Structure 1
Amino acid sequence: MIENLGHALAETRKTGRGVRFSVEVTPEGTVRIVHPPENQDIAGTQAAERTAGSGLARAKARGEALAASILAHEDMVTAEELARRMGTTRVTVNARRHARQLIGLEGPTRGYRYPAWQLDRDGRPFAIIPNLFTALGDSPWTIYRFLTQRHPELEGRTAIAALEKGEDKRVLSVAASIAEGTFA
């Protein structure tokens, strides 16, 4: 394989054009170098990748549109509004978002929106939020999705509905099961 890589490097220096090849390894351990068709050079491959990339661009645009739609819901509020509901300041809200104590969602436009439902009746964020970040990772969108989707382990309810009933331990157990790829 190293020898073939050396030949490919020599060919690129000689022709001034890039060379592509693939390495195929069979279950038996046989290694084979697979060259692309002779008429397919790097430029042709890059053009094909750009064409395929337009599908990626469309998918990204759909994702941005969905995010914008979610952020436009009436239960999504600004930092200022969340601060008012919490009886604190916008600076504190932003600090708590950075500390992963609040869910702040960033969309395609500047600024964050905060789900109002993450506060209890007394204006305090659900205490479980930092634990959800620990269990599920750093993406606020992941935490949002987990909390808003229905889970069979919660009798088909959303995690928000379970939290509103005080089922923090159960919700965290479901999050841990999802993170580990096991189900309670």
Structure 2
Amino acid sequence: MSVDTLIERVQKTSQIEQRLIDNLLDTSPQFKEALATLLRESKHHQKLSQYWQAAIDVALVASHASNVTAYPHTNSFEWTISALTAPELLAELAPTDPLAGARLRGMKVKQELLYSDGQPLRSEEVAQLLGISRQAVDKRRSKGQLLAVLLGKRGYFYPLWQFKDGGVLPGLDSVLTVLAKFDAWTQLMFIKTGDLRLNNLTPLECLVAGNIDAVVTAAACYGEPNPA
């Protein structure tokens, strides 16, 4: 779809549709003018232009397909994913991307894993909390003593639950050592998901209770069939 066609579609949207697109794209209140300017300026940068054209096109589809009428006071990742996973929108997106729904639901799962226990910490905040340097934080992460997920250019984010009383949750390093063959998101999934080997408690609940050996054993079996 051409830039001019997109601008024309944006100009024709109703006020309710404008609000939805504004939330999905996190634009300014004067979003029609802002989007038109954005598209025209990005016209000379192919990758940027393609990205914004795709984002705006999806938002336009959402504005027509979704029945979402409740808007957050501040833009919310959770609200955005809920809007984008509305059945009406997925029905529109499915012909061009059959896996769109799965990808969006996967994003929602990751958001819940990372934020359900509180705002995750950046490297600088972890350094301040533990009383060590930023470089020491990075070293602990690379050695599997701290768990962090990489969110693109935003850098590493450290789930809040792994810190306790100004230190690190006891036993976490032992568990991460056993899980070293898995990526950070998979490690996080293990720690926050109930396990049959732990009587359906999560490894995090068991670590907090001091049952470190049981969690290490469960971690060593992770990825294998659960016991009957």
Find 2:142's aligned residue among 98, 116, 135.
Answer: 98
Secondary structure (helix, strand or coil) at the match of 1:54 reads: coil
Moved more, 67-76 or 108-117: 67-76
Shift of 1:108: 5.1
For 1:90 and 1:112, locate their aligned partners in 2 and report how far apart those are by CA, in whole Å.
12
2:206 is the counterpart of 1:162: yes
Return the letter of the residue paired with 2:102: A
Comparing both structures, which one devotes a greater share of its residues to helix? 2
Please tell me whether the aligned partners of residues 196 and 226 of structure 2 are also in contact (alpha carbons under 8 angstroms): no
2:210 is the counterpart of 1:172: no
Secondary structure (helix, strand or coil) at the match of 2:182 reads: coil
Runs of 5+ unmatched residues, structure 2:
1-93
Q: Deviations over 1:72-123 (max 9, x none)?
A: 5524111111222211122211221112211101235521110121123241
For 1:105 and 1:163, locate their aligned partners in 2 and report how far apart those are by CA, in whole Å.
20
Shift of 1:171: 0.4
Partner of 2:125: 81
For 2:110 and 2:151, locate their aligned partners in 1 and report how far apart those are by CA, in whole Å.
6
Runs of 5+ unmatched residues, structure 1:
1-50
After superposition, residues 15-94 of structure 1 pair within 5 angstroms as 54-68=97-111, 70-73=113-116, 74-94=118-138
Please tell me whether the aligned partners of residues 179 and 187 of structure 2 are also in contact (alpha carbons under 8 angstroms): no
Please tell me whether the aligned partners of residues 136 and 142 of structure 1 are also in contact (alpha carbons under 8 angstroms): no
Q: Deviations over 1:129-170 (max 9, x none)?
A: 354343462311111111111223323321111111211110
For 1:101 and 1:68, locate their aligned partners in 2 and report how far apart those are by CA, in whole Å.
22
For 2:221 and 2:113, locate their aligned partners in 1 and report how far apart those are by CA, in whole Å.
26
RMSD over aligned CA atoms reads 2.8
Return the letter of the residue paired with 2:128: R
For 2:102 and 2:133, locate their aligned partners in 1 and report how far apart those are by CA, in whole Å.
37
For 1:52 and 1:99, locate their aligned partners in 2 and report how far apart those are by CA, in whole Å.
44
Find 1:152's aligned residue among 196, 200, 222.
Answer: 196
Moved more, 85-94 or 162-171: 85-94
TM-score scaled by length of structure 1: 0.59
Point out the structure with max Rg over C-alpha.
1
For 2:152 and 2:105, locate their aligned partners in 1 and report how far apart those are by CA, in whole Å.
11
Partner of 2:20: none
Q: Residues 53 and 110 of structure 1: is their aligned pair in 2 closer, same or farther, counting only changes over 3 Å?
A: farther
Return the letter of the residue paired with 2:154: R
Please tell me whether the aligned partners of residues 153 and 174 of structure 1 are also in contact (alpha carbons under 8 angstroms): yes
